[in-house]
Amino acid sequence: MNNIKKNYILFVILLISSCAATTPQLQLDGFWVVKPPIVARSTAGYGTIRNTGKVADTLLKVSSDIGFVMMHKTEMNSGMAGMMHMSKMVIEPGSELVFEPMSYHLMFSDMAEHIHQEGETATLIFEFEKSGIIKVTVPIKP
């Protein structure tokens, strides 16, 4: 192998390894959407985003094919549960962001009627500052 080729390969290896050290590693786990009652046009979605990388990432937006999605947090205020809208959510390295009942959740509204049928799935599109777009297909279940 000539030297130019060797140097080029070394450069590529350096590029790949430096890239891995400075990018978040996100895993989306167990996402699902609560099947709403037949008359409802809104529901919630839950799941976990884990960042096993060395740098933080920020969730900027979630969208879907079944309705409009907002990131919410349920908070107790003098005995009453209220929902706070989150415009973005930071996921620190080595931590996880958990969407679960009475905490952070995905709030779906203006839902299409077809999701009331059995066995449907939803496509969730997560938009992150550094990792870009991550698409997942999730079940809609009771």
The answer to whether residues 56 and 92 touch, using CB atoms and an 8 Å cutoff, is yes
Residue closest to Cu ion, measured at CB: 72
Residue with smaller CB distance to Cu ion, 24 or 36: 36
Told to check if 72 binds Cu ion by CB under 5 A, we report yes
Residue 136 phi/psi, 5-degree rounding, is: -135, 145
**Cα separation, 57 vs 60, whole angstroms:** 9
CA–CA gap between residue 138 and residue 9 (Å, rounded): 40
- Identity of the residue, 107 or 138, whose beta carbon is nearer to Cu ion in the bound complex: 107
Task: Write the interaction track for Cu ion spanning residues 20-59; mark x where CB under 5 A is met and - where it is not.
Answer: ----------------------------------------
Rounded distance, CA 32 to CA 44, Å? 9
Q: Shortest gap between Cβ of 44 and Cu ion (angstroms)? A: 6
Residue ranges that bind Cu ion, judged by CB under 5 A: 72, 83, 107
